[in-house]
Amino acid sequence: MNVEAKLEFQTSTAPKTGADLLIDLLIKEGVETIFGYPGGAVLPIYDAIYRAKSRIHHILFRHEQGMIHAAEGYARITGKPGVVLATSGPGATNLVTGITDAMMDSLPLVVFTGQVARAVIGTDAFQEADVMAITTPITKHNYQVQSITDLPRIVKEAFHIASTGRPGPVLVDLPKDITSGVLSEEPEEADIDLPGYQPTIKPNPLQIKKLADSLAKAKKPVILAGAGVLHAKASEELTAFVEKHKIPVVTTLLGLGSFPADNPLSLGMGGMHGTYAANMALYESDLLINFGARFDDRLTGNLQHFAPFAKVAHIDIDPAEIGKNVPTQIPIVADAKEALVELLDLPVSPPETVEWLEKLKQYKQDFPLWYKHDPNGMCPQWLIEAVHKVTNGEAIVATDVGQHQMWAAQYYTFNQPHRWITSGGLGTMGFGFPAAIGAQIAAPESTVVAIVGDGGFQMTLQELSVIYERNLPIKIIIVNNGALGMVRQWQELMYDNRISESLLHTQPDFVKLAESYGIRGVKIDNQEDLIASLPELFAYDGPILIDCRVLQQEKVFPMIAPGKGLHEMIGVKPE
């Protein structure tokens, strides 16, 4: 008997544990990849993963925060729950930022955390943390498994809750004695038992009719397209509806790609760093139709000046979002796609929008996004445009948070859905690079670009190991201005240029850093070199880090200063 056969023999006769059952249940849910990190309380699960190696794929990260952001990137691209596995105590608490991020941005995750054995819960045992209490406000729902017989139902419910309705993170806390316990018999198939959870998918036909009537009468209608359109996979329906009625479209930061940016009816992104045309359209509109956006404060600016002349229709799958920030005359609780299909079916006379569109076209012409070239160095906005060009605008782009994020949103125009991954609600630095890893795992054939700042990248760069190990051909663009640029910008504009602790005077040599991980690194500090080398760098078959030194003084414009209204943008034109 050779060694392998012997091993096979041993595993097949080993008694089945709770952890083996868990892995079976995950496979049944269609899970292909686990984003994980082992530790004491999850050793039984890792033993089961060892036994199930041929059936499920585990990716070992270097920090729990990195792996959960990767799972978010995976969820954003596939629409399927990203599955995360961490140990108890510090493993679980390191996930908190990512769970909150997923909650804010409605990303489906199923997070499994180890827990100390039931007998010692509550005794401050080694690596014990009250994960249930910690994660209750930051999850859509959470469970602690109290009996192995509950496990099939809980796993099924967790995936169901995470991926239906308004998606979100669900956490399952697994005491060690549950996962290490030996099953006396296979637990029965379980059914979902969730009487308190029935998301409304279909819109109320009367409300749809009301919206159609209002639309027919509108003179200045505008659509606000949020991430709900992307979750519902309703981009096609949205485009059809927009084309049919000739309504201009503003997208939110997270809604980028839900409507093609190159469509003449697209006004671009709205909000704090949105376009003048988008914000003025929201301001002057007489009918604002919001599909799946939550009227975040970074979009609305001062609420008193938000869409002051508009009747507001809000289509959202989460009833609690309707009327939360903006009074809404036509509330429609529904999936965006269902609502759009119903709307498309109704015979509505298209609104008279010729004049309105003409006015907005003029705004677009008169106040386009702008920046000035500087002979002293590389413009970050130009850098994004160059990346757009070399990738034909077809790459999956993941960003961190800050200036580079806004420039990417402004200058990497998205014509297709599901190409844009960013931390919108929570604004998590360190998100972009690991999220790109998850995206590349989800879409191995796509070009994935991580556009990150030099500040945020240093928060999760340890995951360079993962892209080397897995040979994930991610292109990392560090928009390196040697500063926490957005903080610096606000200090310059709003704190009388008192630049407090926002310059990164000491930095690693990013090229050597990449090389120490076995990854190719390149440093570029001027536009000529970039334009010359970018095609070759992007053609490189493997991970690559490109440290782009850009002008530190550049600011993100235009801008709505905090407390100001949509119509009070600054920096709409070059000085």
Partner 1 sequence: MKRIITLTVQDRSGVLNRVTGLLQRRQFNISSISVGPAEKEGVSKMTLVVEVEDDQRLEQVTKQLNKQIDVLKVSDITDKAIVARELALIKVASSSQLRSEINGIIDPFRALIIDVSKDSLAVQITGRPDKIDALIELLRPYGIKEIARTGLTALQRGHQPQVNELATFSLLK
Cite the active site residues: 64, 126-127, 176, 486
CA distances from 546 to 22, 448, 474, 514, 523 (A): 41, 14, 11, 9, 6
- Write down the least CB distance from residue 426 to partner 1, Å: 15
| Of the candidate residues 1, 3, 54, 195, the single one contacting partner 1 (CB under 8 A) | 195
Question: Applying CB under 8 A, does 135 fall inside the site for partner 1?
Answer: no
Question: Applying CB under 8 A, does 132 fall inside the site for partner 1?
Answer: yes
| Of the candidate residues 96, 194, 357, 537, the single one contacting partner 1 (CB under 8 A) | 194
Residue whose CB is less far from partner 1, 110 or 387? 110
- Write down the least CB distance from residue 11 to partner 1, Å: 35
Question: Applying CB under 8 A, does 140 fall inside the site for partner 1?
Answer: yes
- Write down the least CB distance from residue 322 to partner 1, Å: 8
Residue 163 sits at φ, ψ, to 5 deg, of -105, -5
Half-sphere exposure of 357 (CA within 13 A, CB side): 16
- Write down the least CB distance from residue 151 to partner 1, Å: 16
* First-to-final CA distance of the chain: 81
Site string for partner 1, 147-186 (x = CB under 8 A): --------------x-------------------------
| Of the candidate residues 16, 118, 127, 197, the single one contacting partner 1 (CB under 8 A) | 197
Establish whether the linkage from the previous residue to 90 is cis, with ω within 30° of 0: no
If you write DSSP's letter for every residue of 100-117 in order, what string do you get?
HHHHHTT--EEEEEEE--
Partnered with residue 486 across adjacent β-strands are: none
Which one of 132-140, 273-281, 283-291, 498-506 is the stretch in contact with partner 1 (CB under 8 A)?
A: 132-140
- Write down the least CB distance from residue 158 to partner 1, Å: 11
Cα 364 from Cα 367, distance rounded (Å): 5
- Write down the least CB distance from residue 68 to partner 1, Å: 21
Cα 486 from Cα 406, distance rounded (Å): 10
Residue whose CB is less far from partner 1, 166 or 337? 166
Question: Applying CB under 8 A, does 493 fall inside the site for partner 1?
Answer: no
| Of the candidate residues 1, 133, 354, 539, the single one contacting partner 1 (CB under 8 A) | 133
Residue whose CB is less far from partner 1, 15 or 195? 195
Nearest to 298 by CA among 313, 280, 311, 279: 279
Question: Applying CB under 8 A, does 574 fall inside the site for partner 1?
Answer: no
| 502-561 positions binding partner 1, by CB under 8 A | none
CA angle (332, 424, 240) in 5-degree steps: 45
CA distances from 131 to 99, 229, 380, 522, 555 (A): 12, 32, 41, 42, 40
Residue whose CB is less far from partner 1, 237 or 316? 316
Which amino acid is present at 164? T
Residue whose CB is less far from partner 1, 141 or 337? 141
Cα 549 from Cα 477, distance rounded (Å): 10
Residue whose CB is less far from partner 1, 196 or 574? 196
Question: Applying CB under 8 A, does 141 fall inside the site for partner 1?
Answer: yes
- Please state whether beta strands 330-333 and 396-399 pair in parallel, antiparallel, or not at all (unpaired): unpaired
If you write DSSP's letter for every residue of 462-529 in order, what string do you get?
GGHHHHHHTT---EEEEEE-SB-HHHHHHHHHHSTT---S-B------HHHHHHHTT-EEEEE-SHHH
Question: Applying CB under 8 A, does 137 fall inside the site for partner 1?
Answer: yes
* Spatial CB neighbours of 124, under 8 Å, sequence gap ≥ 6: none
Question: Applying CB under 8 A, does 563 fall inside the site for partner 1?
Answer: no
- Write down the least CB distance from residue 326 to partner 1, Å: 10
Pull the structure tokens for residue 406. 């806004």
3-state secondary structure of 178: helix
Query: Is the separation of the CB atoms in 189 and 308 below 8 Å?
Result: no
| Of the candidate residues 30, 196, 375, 574, the single one contacting partner 1 (CB under 8 A) | 196
CA angle (310, 315, 318) in 5-degree steps: 125
Residue whose CB is less far from partner 1, 132 or 531? 132
- Write down the least CB distance from residue 107 to partner 1, Å: 17
Residue whose CB is less far from partner 1, 294 or 488? 294
- Write down the least CB distance from residue 421 to partner 1, Å: 26
* Spatial CB neighbours of 265, under 8 Å, sequence gap ≥ 6: 242, 243, 246, 247, 248, 249, 259, 357
Neighbour tally for 296: CB within 10 Å: 17
Which one of 27-35, 189-197, 288-296, 362-370 is the stretch in contact with partner 1 (CB under 8 A)?
A: 189-197
How many residues belong to the site for partner 1 (CB under 8 A)? 20
Which one of 19-27, 135-143, 284-292, 456-464 is the stretch in contact with partner 1 (CB under 8 A)?
A: 135-143
| 302-341 positions binding partner 1, by CB under 8 A | 318-320, 323-324, 327
- Please state whether beta strands 311-316 and 287-291 pair in parallel, antiparallel, or not at all (unpaired): parallel
If you write DSSP's letter for every residue of 21-90 in order, what string do you get?
HHHHHHHHTT--EEEE---GGGHHHHHHHHHTTTT-EEEE-SSHHHHHHHHHHHHHHHSSPEEEEE-STH
Which one of 190-198, 223-231, 239-247, 514-522 is the stretch in contact with partner 1 (CB under 8 A)?
A: 190-198
| 253-282 positions binding partner 1, by CB under 8 A | none
* Spatial CB neighbours of 262, under 8 Å, sequence gap ≥ 6: 413, 415
- Write down the least CB distance from residue 316 to partner 1, Å: 11
Residue whose CB is less far from partner 1, 323 or 473? 323
| Of the candidate residues 115, 144, 285, 481, the single one contacting partner 1 (CB under 8 A) | 144
Query: Is the separation of the CB atoms in 310 and 304 below 8 Å?
Result: no
Interface residues toward partner 1, by CB under 8 A = 132-133, 136-137, 140-142, 144, 146, 161, 194-197, 318-320, 323-324, 327
